[in-house]
Amino acid sequence: MKASPFLTESEIGTSAYTHLFACVTEEDGSFSVQVRLSNTVKGGNTAWGEEVTDCFETASMLIAALAAEFSIPTEHIRIEIRMHNSTDGTRH
């Protein structure tokens, strides 16, 4: 499998991605962040990736940074959070 860098600009100079989906999953004291960037206007522009962070706040910052980098509006962002036990003192 060959990996390529994110396509950040389309031919017309606008962001190549219009939607962001992120899933944050708590796993043994760390947080896995899986993201999918897509363009609903131009089919075929899709990118995905996964990162492991040490805290929920860092996971949130990664999602916010991606949304800002690709100028994705809030109404086109969907976030799913999967926690083992939300009362263990983890701040949401």
Q: Answer whether CATH 2.60.40 is correct for domain 19-82.
A: no
Q: Is residue 23 within 8 Å of residue 73, measured between CB atoms?
A: no
d(CA 90, CA 20): 24
d(CA 53, CA 9): 27
Per-residue model confidence as pLDDT tens for the chain (92 residues) = 344 444 444 455 567 899 999 999 998 889 999 999 999 877 778 899 999 999 999 999 999 999 999 999 999 999 999 987 656 555 54
